[in-house]
Structure 1
């Protein structure tokens, strides 16, 4: 069942993504796929140096604009972003990471006690508290409707005057999402980073 689900989502992601994004439709991936991947260590490479640049850009924007405020880390995985944020967030009350995968969350809890990590699907659930900075690192396109749902999600999770940071790996079809966000929000800052393998990310920060 998981194999069939994985094949379905692979086709949806790689072949139809550009058309979905053009019409404001995202491409969520089922929990079973994520559970299997995190269980098998498929995402452990995210701790490698070649993946570090976009995480460092997120931290830079947080330090420059976030004023040391509280952070909601959406799609936190096994806590890689927190690995880079931990020097700047000392109080566990000022951080919440959540991910659809319980396997990922369990690993994050094991690695970074006593900081808070919860299993949650942002297409179904919303945290009950608000934060100064909400970060979507390579996950905003997993909303069913990335533009409309992001706005509604921020209404419930972002404190007045807070900032939003979005990071996306570069795919040509992501230009559709970036255009929609640029039309809707005024970016405070943004940058693109490229690693030694030619992989590229775009990172932006804005106030709704």
Structure 2
């Protein structure tokens, strides 16, 4: 079964990157001037893009795709003169791909998924923060000064048939330095803006 196309066949029409992209490259093509990705001629590429709103380290992969993929990341504005940031052919033994790299605030990145030697099928393109925040563990808890409030964002585990949720709460230092969470706001769908990448 083919999935709905969420990528763009041509670089200039690159689609905004979602939290997870699904697509089929069965009818995709390689445009004039397009380079080989991950050292392979490929021939059925789809493009996405995203702009970083903060500096950070991210991991992208095609795990879950049902064919041998090529994954590359670029910056630039012309398909024939792009700057390579990262690329990979086989990250796992199933032929899917994965890259990890640092993003810079305000910079736009282009992501392309192609098929090894022109392979095609259903694409699953995932991304996530590569490293947890510094206070992710109890031992590294951040101390709050008196009356200090800090926003906290926690990603809830994705239910089987629902989108992942981001819950926002505010921690406040009360009565001798014990940070207590305030009543959480209603959960909202997790969007790229909450995790450093944003749409253009």
Whether TM-score is above 0.5 comes out as: no
Q: Is the radius of gyration larger for structure 1 or structure 2?
A: 2
Higher helix fraction: Structure 1 or Structure 2? 1
TM-score normalised according to structure 1 size: 0.27
Higher strand fraction: Structure 1 or Structure 2? 2
TM-score normalised according to structure 2 size: 0.28
